[in-house]
Structure 1
Amino acid sequence: MEQLKYKHLFEPIVLAGTLFNNRIFASPTGYQDMNRFCDLPPEAIAYYERKAKGGVASVALGELVVDSKTGRSGTHHVPMDDPNSFYMLCRITNAVRMHGANCSAELCHAGMFASRLSGITGEASRGLAYGPVDCEKNGRIILGMTEEKIWEVVGQFAAAAQYAKRAGFTMVTIHGGHGWLLSQFMSPILNTRTDKWGGPDIENRSRLAIEICKAIRKTCGPRFPIEFRFSGSEAYEGGFGIEEGIAFAKQLDGYCDLLHVSAGNHEVEEVFTITHPSMFLPDGVNVKYAAEIKKHVKTPVATVGALDDPALMEEIIASGQADVVEMARGLICDPDMPLKARMGREDEIRKCMRCLACFSSLMSQGQFYCAINPQAGRELEARNDTPPMHKRKVLVAGGGIAGMEAALICAQRGHDVILCEKGPRLGGTLLCEEQVPFKEKLAEYISGQERAIRKAPIDLRLNTEVTPEYAARIGTDVIIAALGARPVRPNIPGIHLPHVKSAEQAYVTPEQVGQEVVILGAGLVGVELGIYLASLGKHVTIVEMDTKINDGGNDRHVRGVKVQLKKYGIQLHFETKAEQITEEGVLCSTTDGEAVFTADTVVYAVGQQPLQKEGAALAGMAKEFYQIGDCVSPKNIMNATTQAYYVARNVGRI
C-alpha cells in the first residue's frame, strides 16, 4: 500500500477519550441567515455538513451565545439558553456526525460589547452590557460584574455545554479570544479589578476561564472534549502580546483538552486582517503564536489563520509547532481539501485567495459566498442538483475567469464543449497580475483551472477569435459568450501622452513605470496597483472623484488594503477630478481649488467597458445563447464564476 504523503496531518488524535480522524479541524464560523427566532435554515445544515463530507475531523458551529439577554453582540446568534433551538441543532449535529466528523459548539459571551446592534439594519442599541469593571465605551455605560454575576456566567457556560452535548455535539469550543468577555477578563488593560477575578495577577485574570472549564468538566464529564479559543497576542500597540498569551496558556494548561491559539482583537480595525489574514500576509502568518505557546504547555495546541496548503500544514504538525490545524475560509473555498490532500490530488485544491469576499457577503447577505467556489453558500442547491435532460454541443467564447468556469461545468455535466480563446493563454485580463506577490493565490487558481480544462474532455482552441462567421462554420447548439471587457480610457486632455498607461499595462511592465506615479481611480484595481507599485519602491499618489475607496461590495478586503496604504505612505486624494495630464503630471480640481500632482507616469484605472456588442453579434449563431461575466457588466471574480456556474447548469435543461 502506498504510504500517505502527509502522514502527520492525517494521524488521528484523541482528546478526552474522543477520536478525531485527522488533525484538520473546521474552525468556528457563524451563520447570519436565520429567522427572528434565530432558527437556522436547511441551507445552514448543508453548509456545515459539506465540510464534514470533505474529510475534516471536526466541524465547529460559531457564535452560539450562552446568555441571550446580555451576552449577544448582535441578533444573528443562536441562543443556547432557548430550548426551542434544540431540534434544529440536532439536525446539524446529525448531518455532520454521519460523515464521521465530530461536531463542536463554540460558546460565546460578548461581555462589554453585547447588545450593540439591533437587527439587520445595524442600528445602534443601548442594551445592557457587563464587563470586568464599570466603564464607559463609545458613550455606553458598561457595568462591572459582581461576584454573583460572574458565577451566573460560569453556570451559563456549563448549562450551554450540557445543552450542546444533549443536542449531539461531541465537543465545545469556548470563545475566549478576539475581545469577547473572557479575553476582557484576561486583559491586563481592561481588567483592573482588585479582587480575585482581576488585577495585575495573571492567576486572577485567568480565574473566570478556568472556572468555566471546571464547571463544564463537572457537568459534561471527563470524556467530553473542551477546546479553548484565545488570542495568543492581540497584535497591536496597546494590546497584550505573546508574553501574556503564554502566561494565560500556562494557567489554563490541564483544564481543557485543546488550546486553540488565534490572534487579534475585533475592536481594532487594522487587526481584523490579522485575525482573518489578508492576501497581503504570508501563509500561516499566525502559527508563530501557537508554536511559542506550545513550548510552555502539555495540553495539545491548535493553530489557525491563512492555512490551506497541505505541505505547510504537514510541516506544522511534523515539526511540533502545533498538534491541530484549523481552517475557516480555506474550507469555504474548497471543502474537499482534506480528501484531495489525502488522495494525493493536491494540485486540484482550490486555495483561498484571502480576498474576504466570503466575510463581506456574510455580513451583507447572510451567506458565505466565495469568489472562486460558486457552490459556497449554495450547498443545499448543489446537493440536490440534477443532471441535464439533454446533451448539447457548447461553444464557449472567451477563456477568462467566466469562460473557464462555464466550460468546466458544461463538461462535468456531459456536454460536448469547445472553448475558444483569442489569445495564447487562458486567464483573461487577470493574467496581468500573475507576478504580483499578494495575488499569488489568484495565479494558482488560474493555473488550476487551466490544468482542469486540459484534463477534461474539452476541445481547447487558443489563438482563436470567435466571430459570427466562425461560430456559424463550426455549428453548435449553445453559445456562451464570455468575451470580457476592455479598460475605459478617460476623455482627459493629455491621455494619449506616452507616459500614460492603463492599469493592465502597468501591471505587466512595472519596470516601465517611473518613480513618481499618479493613479486615476481609487477602485480596487487602482488601490491594489498602487500597493504593488509602492512595494517596488515607487512613490504613489491616487486621485479619486468619489469620497472614498470603491470596495465593489467587499468592505472587509478594504480593511487590509488600508493597512497597506498606510504602510507604504500612499497618498489618496478624494473629491479630486483630473482635468488635464501634462508632461509634468496631472492638473486636478479639488474642493479647495486646483492642485497639481507631479508624475513620471500616469495610470488610469477608472473602470472597464463591457464587450456587449461583440457578444451580442453571436446571438443568432445558435439556438441557445448566453452572455456572462464582464462582457455583460464588469464586476468581480465572484460575479463571473457564479454567473458561469448557473448558466452552465442550465444548459440542456429543456
Structure 2
Amino acid sequence: MYDLLFSPGKIGGLTLPNRIAMTAASASLSQPDGTMTEDMLAYYEARAKGGVGLIITEMVCVDEDRGVLFPRELNAAREENIPSFRRLADRVHPHGTKIFAQLFHPGANADPKLNPLDLISASPARGKKRGQARAATEEEIHAIAAKFGQAARRVQEAGFDGVEVHAGHHYFLHSFLSPVTNHRTDGYGGSLENRTRILREIVEAIRAACGRDFPLMFRISLEEYIGKDGYHADTGIKICQMLEGWGVDAINVTASGTDSKLSQSVEPMYYPQGWRKHLAKAVKGTVSIPVLSVALIRDPAYAEKLLREGVLDFAGSVRTHLADPNWAAKARAGQEEDILPCISCMACFAKYDQAGHITCAVNPETGYEAQLPPLPQDGAGRLVVVLGSGPAGLEGAWMAARRGFRVVLFEKAPQLGGQLRLAMATPRKEKVGWLLESLVHRCRQAGVNLRTGWAPTLEEIQALHPYAILDATGGRPSLPASIQGVGESPLVCTPVEIITGQLDLREESIVVVGSGMTGLETAEILSHRDRNNAVLVLEAAPRVAPGVYGSNRNGVTWVLEGNNVVFLTNRTLTKVGQDRIWFADSQTGEEYVYPCDRVVLALGTTPTRPYALEDLQALGAKVFRVGDAAQSGQVWDAVHDGYHAARSL
C-alpha cells in the first residue's frame, strides 16, 4: 500500500529497512551520568519493535565541561560509557532498526549550573538557561571539534550505525552559521566559508576517528525565520552543498532557531501537516545525497505522497512515534484507523517539569514503558459505567474494555466528545478532532456501549449493578463568587457561549478576563476583523498566559497583536457593574474603572459533579473521578486520568 515508505533506503553504505525515521527529542530518561536506564532502553526498543527504520537518539553530550543542557542526557564524552551505548544498540538491532546518535553542543544554551567551566558560543551571548557565554577561542573551537570526533568513535565502538551532528536551532554550531549570533572577525566569522569552518573541522574529526564508511548526517536549520538579519534558504542550501562536498552522507532539514518568536522547529497545533516541505524539496533539488526531513508528518499516506513527489528521501518525525510507537507497523498492516494520532499539543515538552521526562498526551504509556506491567485481562465481563465522554471518559472506557470489562458509557449531550468538541471549535485546532475520532474508534473497536443523549439517574445506574463507575462528567466555566456582581451583571458571559456561537458579539467593547489558552482563543474569535470589536485581555499574573507552553502561547498572541488586542497584566477583576468593571493592580492595590459592553470570564473550570460522590459510592461500586470532574486540567491530565483509573479497577 505504501510501496515507497516501506522500501529500503541508503545513507552512505548503510541500508535502512524503510524510509521511516524517528528523529531526536530529549527524553531525560538516562542516569545522571548519561548512561542508559531500563526506562531509556524500553522507550527506544518500543519504537524499534513498532517498525521504524531509523532511530536518531536524543541529543548526546560530547563535552562535559561546557556542553551539558539537561541533568539527565545521554553522554558520549566518557570512555566508560561505551558499554552503556552498546546496550541500546543491542536492544534495537534485533528488530531490524538502525540507530544513530545525535551529537550536539548547546553552547550559550547550556545550563550554567551543570557545567564546571564558563559557557562559550561563537560570540558573546545569553542563553535559554540564563547563562552568559563568551566567545570561544580558536583553541577551544579545535578542542570541541575533536570532542565530536571522539564521541562519534565511542558510539561507533558501541555498535551504533552512524551519527547525526546537530547544527541547528541556535545551539553551539548554529551560533557560528548565523550572522545574528556570529560577530567574529577571525577565520570563523564574516564570510560563509568562515562561518562554516567549524562544521568542516567536525567532519574531518569524525572521519579521522571513525573512517570514511561510518554514516554521517548533519541536521541543518535551512531557514532561521528570525527576520531580515537571519539567513534564509539560499544560504541554507549553500551550507548543505558544502557539507556534501566535504563527504557528509545525508542532510536532515529542519528550520528556525530558538530565538524566533514563533516555533518553526517544534511546531504547535496551528501548523498544517507538511507546512515546510518546500525546504526539504529545495535541498533535495540541489544535492545528490539523501535528504531526511521533519515536515509535520502525521499520517502514512502523506509521508508516501512526499516520497512520491520527490520532496524527501526519509520521512522524519518524533512526536508521531511518541503518540504511537507502532505507527510504522500499523501503516504497513493497513491499520491506519488504529494509529494514535499526535495532535501537536506540545504536552510532550510542556509536561517535562511535572513528569520529569518525556511523556505524551494521547499515549499515557510513553516514557513509562519499563514501569507499566502488561495490561491484565481480568475484567471477566464485569460492568463498568462511565459517565461522560470527554477525553477522560473515552480513554477510561476503551482501556477498561481492553481489560475485559463490559463498559457502558453515558453522555448527556447528543454527541460524544465533551470538552474536546469545545476545543476543536476554536481557531486552528482541527487536530483536536483527530483525537476525538481516535478515541471513539477505539471505544467502538473495544465493544464499548456508547449511549448519547442520556444522563442516567442514580436509580438507572443502580439497576445495572456496576462493578465500577468512572465519573467523567467534566466541568463548567468558573464564575468566582469573590468577584462582586458576577452573578447579577448583564455583562457577564463565558467562553463557551462565544466559542459555540450562542453569542455573536460585534462592534462591542469586550474584556476577556484570564489569559490561559481558552481566554486567548476566545479573544481571537472576538477580535476577528469582521466583528469590529475592541478587545482587552485582563490577566492577574505578571505575564500573559502563565503556565502555557511558549509555542502554544505565541501561536495565538501573534494573531491577537495583529488584531490590535490590548493586554493588561497584574490586573485583578474585583467587581462587575451594569456597564463597567472595576479591577485592581495586583501589586499596588490601586483600583481602576473601565466601561465596557461585555465581560468574558475565562477563569478555568469548576467540576460539574451532577452526582454526589457519596451517592455513587452508596451504589456499592468502586468510584473514580477523572478529568475535569476531579480537577480542572488539560488534555494530558484527562487522558492520563482515564487511563490510570482503568488500570486501577
TM over 0.5, shorter chain: yes
**Are residue 49 (structure 1) and residue 39 (structure 2) matched?**
no
C-alpha distance in 2 between matches for 1:89 and 1:512: 59
> Structure 2 vs 1, CA of residues 57 and 263 (structure 1 numbering), >3 Å: closer, same or farther?
same
C-alpha distance in 2 between matches for 1:410 and 1:223: 51
C-alpha distance in 1 between matches for 2:282 and 2:336: 29
Report the 3-state secondary structure (helix = DSSP H, G, I; strand = E; otherwise coil) of the residue aligned with 2:218: strand
Report the 3-state secondary structure (helix = DSSP H, G, I; strand = E; otherwise coil) of the residue aligned with 2:198: helix
Deviation at residue 470 of structure 1 after TM alignment: 0.9
> Structure 2 vs 1, CA of residues 432 and 75 (structure 1 numbering), >3 Å: closer, same or farther?
closer
Deviation at residue 615 of structure 1 after TM alignment: 4.5
Unaligned 5+ residue runs, structure 2? none
Alignment of 1:83-102 (within 5 A): 83-102=79-98
Query: Is the CA contact (8 Å cut-off) linking 2:480 and 2:486 kept in structure 1?
Result: no
State the match for 2:641 in structure 1: 643
> Structure 2 vs 1, CA of residues 496 and 97 (structure 1 numbering), >3 Å: closer, same or farther?
farther
C-alpha distance in 2 between matches for 1:449 and 1:361: 21
Query: Is the CA contact (8 Å cut-off) linking 2:123 and 2:134 kept in structure 1?
Result: yes
State the match for 2:241 in structure 1: 250
State the match for 1:331 in structure 2: 321
- Tell me the C-alpha RMSD between the 2 structures: 2.6
State the match for 1:122 in structure 2: none
**Are residue 527 (structure 1) and residue 520 (structure 2) matched?**
yes
Task: Tell me the alpha carbon deviations over residues 154-175 of structure 1, each in whole angstroms, 9 at most, x when there is no partner.
Answer: 3221211111111121110101
Query: Is the CA contact (8 Å cut-off) linking 2:101 and 2:163 kept in structure 1?
Result: yes
C-alpha distance in 2 between matches for 1:56 and 1:437: 33
State the match for 1:631 in structure 2: 629
> Structure 2 vs 1, CA of residues 76 and 210 (structure 1 numbering), >3 Å: closer, same or farther?
same
Report the 3-state secondary structure (helix = DSSP H, G, I; strand = E; otherwise coil) of the residue aligned with 1:325: strand
Report the 3-state secondary structure (helix = DSSP H, G, I; strand = E; otherwise coil) of the residue aligned with 1:306: coil
C-alpha distance in 2 between matches for 1:181 and 1:552: 28
Q: Percent of aligned positions with the same letter in both sequences? A: 28
Report the 3-state secondary structure (helix = DSSP H, G, I; strand = E; otherwise coil) of the residue aligned with 1:618: helix
State the match for 1:444 in structure 2: 434
Task: Tell me the alpha carbon deviations over residues 340-361 of structure 1, each in whole angstroms, 9 at most, x when there is no partner.
Answer: 2222222232322222111122
State the match for 1:608 in structure 2: 605
State the match for 2:202 in structure 1: 212
Deviates more, 1:609-618 or 1:365-374: 609-618
Report the 3-state secondary structure (helix = DSSP H, G, I; strand = E; otherwise coil) of the residue aligned with 2:420: helix
Q: 2:467 aligns with which of 473, 477, 481?
A: 477
Query: Is the CA contact (8 Å cut-off) linking 2:412 and 2:454 kept in structure 1?
Result: yes
State the match for 1:180 in structure 2: 171
**Are residue 504 (structure 1) and residue 496 (structure 2) matched?**
yes
Query: Is the CA contact (8 Å cut-off) linking 1:75 and 1:117 kept in structure 2?
Result: no
Query: Is the CA contact (8 Å cut-off) linking 1:263 and 1:274 kept in structure 2?
Result: yes
> Structure 2 vs 1, CA of residues 472 and 65 (structure 1 numbering), >3 Å: closer, same or farther?
same
Task: Tell me the alpha carbon deviations over residues 359-407 of structure 1, each in whole angstroms, 9 at most, x when there is no partner.
Answer: 1222553211212211112122346444337552211121221111111
Alignment of 1:399-548 (within 5 A): 399-491=389-481, 492-493=484-485, 495-498=487-490, 500-509=492-501, 512-516=504-508, 517-535=510-528, 537-538=530-531, 539-548=534-543
Report the 3-state secondary structure (helix = DSSP H, G, I; strand = E; otherwise coil) of the residue aligned with 2:274: coil
Query: Is the CA contact (8 Å cut-off) linking 1:133 and 1:145 kept in structure 2?
Result: no
**Are residue 393 (structure 1) and residue 383 (structure 2) matched?**
yes
Task: Tell me the alpha carbon deviations over residues 616-651 of structure 1, each in whole angstroms, 9 at most, x when there is no partner.
Answer: 121121332222221111212111111111111122
Alignment of 1:13-92 (within 5 A): 13-92=9-88
Residue type matched to 2:496 in 1? E
State the match for 1:568 in structure 2: 563
Report the 3-state secondary structure (helix = DSSP H, G, I; strand = E; otherwise coil) of the residue aligned with 1:644: helix
Query: Is the CA contact (8 Å cut-off) linking 1:432 and 1:507 kept in structure 2?
Result: yes
Alignment of 1:100-499 (within 5 A): 100-114=96-110, 116-118=111-113, 127-133=117-123, 140=132, 142-146=134-138, 148-200=139-191, 202-237=192-227, 238-254=229-245, 255-266=247-258, 268=259, 270-271=261-262, 273-382=263-372, 384-388=374-378, 391-491=381-481, 492-493=484-485, 495-498=487-490
Query: Is the CA contact (8 Å cut-off) linking 1:133 and 1:144 kept in structure 2?
Result: yes
Query: Is the CA contact (8 Å cut-off) linking 1:277 and 1:285 kept in structure 2?
Result: no
Residue type matched to 1:151 in 2? H
C-alpha distance in 2 between matches for 1:304 and 1:212: 24
Report the 3-state secondary structure (helix = DSSP H, G, I; strand = E; otherwise coil) of the residue aligned with 2:581: strand
Task: Tell me the alpha carbon deviations over residues 148-195 of structure 1, each in whole angstroms, 9 at most, x when there is no partner.
Answer: 433332322121111111112111010111112222222234444445
> Structure 2 vs 1, CA of residues 650 and 605 (structure 1 numbering), >3 Å: closer, same or farther?
same
Number of corresponding residues? 637
Report the 3-state secondary structure (helix = DSSP H, G, I; strand = E; otherwise coil) of the residue aligned with 1:438: coil
Deviation at residue 135 of structure 1 after TM alignment: 7.3
Query: Is the CA contact (8 Å cut-off) linking 2:27 and 2:367 kept in structure 1?
Result: no
C-alpha distance in 2 between matches for 1:320 and 1:576: 53
Deviation at residue 59 of structure 1 after TM alignment: 0.9
> Structure 2 vs 1, CA of residues 487 and 511 (structure 1 numbering), >3 Å: closer, same or farther?
closer
Task: Tell me the alpha carbon deviations over residues 425-449 of structure 1, each in whole angstroms, 9 at most, x when there is no partner.
Answer: 1111331233334211111211221
Query: Is the CA contact (8 Å cut-off) linking 2:108 and 2:125 kept in structure 1?
Result: no
C-alpha distance in 2 between matches for 1:74 and 1:478: 42
C-alpha distance in 2 between matches for 1:322 and 1:451: 32
Deviation at residue 504 of structure 1 after TM alignment: 1.0
Query: Is the CA contact (8 Å cut-off) linking 2:324 and 2:341 kept in structure 1?
Result: yes
Query: Is the CA contact (8 Å cut-off) linking 2:426 and 2:522 kept in structure 1?
Result: no
C-alpha distance in 2 between matches for 1:437 and 1:8: 35
> Structure 2 vs 1, CA of residues 518 and 126 (structure 1 numbering), >3 Å: closer, same or farther?
farther
Query: Is the CA contact (8 Å cut-off) linking 2:28 and 2:70 kept in structure 1?
Result: no
Deviation at residue 452 of structure 1 after TM alignment: 2.3
Query: Is the CA contact (8 Å cut-off) linking 1:206 and 1:252 kept in structure 2?
Result: no
Report the 3-state secondary structure (helix = DSSP H, G, I; strand = E; otherwise coil) of the residue aligned with 1:79: coil
Normalised to the residue count of structure 2, the TM-score between the two structures is 0.91
> Structure 2 vs 1, CA of residues 126 and 598 (structure 1 numbering), >3 Å: closer, same or farther?
farther
> Structure 2 vs 1, CA of residues 75 and 494 (structure 1 numbering), >3 Å: closer, same or farther?
closer
Deviates more, 1:641-650 or 1:564-573: 564-573
Residue type matched to 1:502 in 2? T
Normalised to the residue count of structure 1, the TM-score between the two structures is 0.91
Report the 3-state secondary structure (helix = DSSP H, G, I; strand = E; otherwise coil) of the residue aligned with 1:614: coil
C-alpha distance in 1 between matches for 2:172 and 2:132: 16
Report the 3-state secondary structure (helix = DSSP H, G, I; strand = E; otherwise coil) of the residue aligned with 2:453: coil
Unaligned 5+ residue runs, structure 1? 120-124
C-alpha distance in 1 between matches for 2:74 and 2:332: 34
C-alpha distance in 2 between matches for 1:195 and 1:117: 26
C-alpha distance in 2 between matches for 1:494 and 1:409: 41
> Structure 2 vs 1, CA of residues 286 and 383 (structure 1 numbering), >3 Å: closer, same or farther?
farther
Deviation at residue 545 of structure 1 after TM alignment: 2.7
Query: Is the CA contact (8 Å cut-off) linking 1:286 and 1:303 kept in structure 2?
Result: no
Residue type matched to 2:538 in 1? V
Deviation at residue 604 of structure 1 after TM alignment: 1.5
